[in-house]
Amino acid sequence: MSTFQPEAGASATPLRRITVPAIRAGKGGTPLVMLTAYTARVAALLDPHCDMLLVGDSLAQVIYGLPSTVPVTLEMMCAHGAAVVRGAAHALVVIDMPFGSYEASKEVAFDSAARILKETGASAVKLEGGVAMAETIAFLSARGIPVMAHVGLTPQAVNALGGYGARGRSEAEAAKIIGDAQAVADAGAFAIVIEGVLEPIAVAITEAVACPTIGIGASARCDGQVLVGEDMLGLFDRTPKFVKAYGTMAAGVTDAATRYAADVRARAFPTAAETYQPKI
């Protein structure tokens, strides 16, 4: 249970955080809502509207301006994950395991996942990969670490994939993605992110597995949806095909910065209202 209050004067009523079993039980019900968050304040704003908040390794591009998610470290994920947990009182917080922190062995994966949960207070981790990661997912799940899986377009494998194009255009690749999803579901993943695949693949996976599927560039027929929060808010001018901007964050920031700069240069800010005057 969390009693975090993002604003002074907010209700003191404790909020009970959504649990992994509750998410798993959401299969086939009202679609699950998931967004990424990387800071406490954004988490607090998104939290009332989401079932899950994902601290994605997409912070590489969104926060750090890196070209891909490959350079992300455990330290980065733990720092941002802890901030999001402090900011959210309701949504289940899931944290991406960065590239290189889990692939070597299931024991390495356990050490990395345990560190993430200890240092952040999050409820679950997410890792990319299908059949090759099934044994690791089973190992973590059996030891009390809930795992969200991720199949289809897996950004950490961008160098092997050759880019960010939609996956599953050949029959062989489509069959592999479906097989990957079934493998991670059988291994104990409590949910599966399906990214950047042809829609029939996402539908087939959703119908085949017992755990919820979370689509991103997949299908409205998945059990839920996730987007990068800043994409959804309209912070970036260029976004993937599957993004719908529900806000105009970039325009708002530009307008505010323009007006602030004009006031400073005209000595119109600060005024007496924003400065400390001697007491008479």
Nearest of 150, 146, 114 to residue 133 by alpha carbon: 150
Catalytic residue ranges:
195
For 155, which DSSP code? G
Predicted confidence (pLDDT) at residue 5 exceeds the cutoff of 70:
no
Mean pLDDT for 44-66 is: 97
96 is in an annotated binding site: yes
What tens digit of pLDDT does each residue of 11-24 get? 434 468 999 999 99
128 is in an annotated binding site: yes
Q: Is the dihedral of CA 113, 119, 120, 123 positive or negative?
A: positive
237 is in an annotated binding site: no
Predicted confidence (pLDDT) at residue 188 exceeds the cutoff of 60:
yes
Mean pLDDT for 62-85 is: 97
In the prediction, which pLDDT does 157 show?
80
180 is in an annotated binding site: no
The CATH H-level superfamily of 20-274 is Phosphoenolpyruvate-binding domains (3.20.20.60)
Reported as half-sphere exposure (CB side, CA atoms, 13 A), residue 107 has a value of 0
Q: Which residues of 162-194 are buried (b: 16+ CB within 10 A; e: fewer)?
A: eeeebbbeeeeebebbbebbbbbbebbbbbbbb
Which residues make beta-bridge pairs with 225? 33, 215
Higher-confidence residue of 166 and 108: namely: 108
58 is in an annotated binding site: yes
In the prediction, which pLDDT does 15 show?
61
Q: What's the Cα-to-Cα distance from 270 to each of 255, 259, 262, rounded to whole Å?
A: 18, 13, 12
Domain ranges across the chain:
20-274
Predicted confidence (pLDDT) at residue 194 exceeds the cutoff of 60:
yes
SS3 content of the chain, % helix, strand, coil (to 5): 40, 15, 40
Q: Please, what is the average pLDDT of the chain?
A: 93
Predicted confidence (pLDDT) at residue 7 exceeds the cutoff of 60:
no
Residue 185 binned pLDDT confidence (cut-offs 50, 70, 90): very high
pTM comes to: 0.91
Q: Are 57 and 143 in contact (CB under 8 A)?
A: no
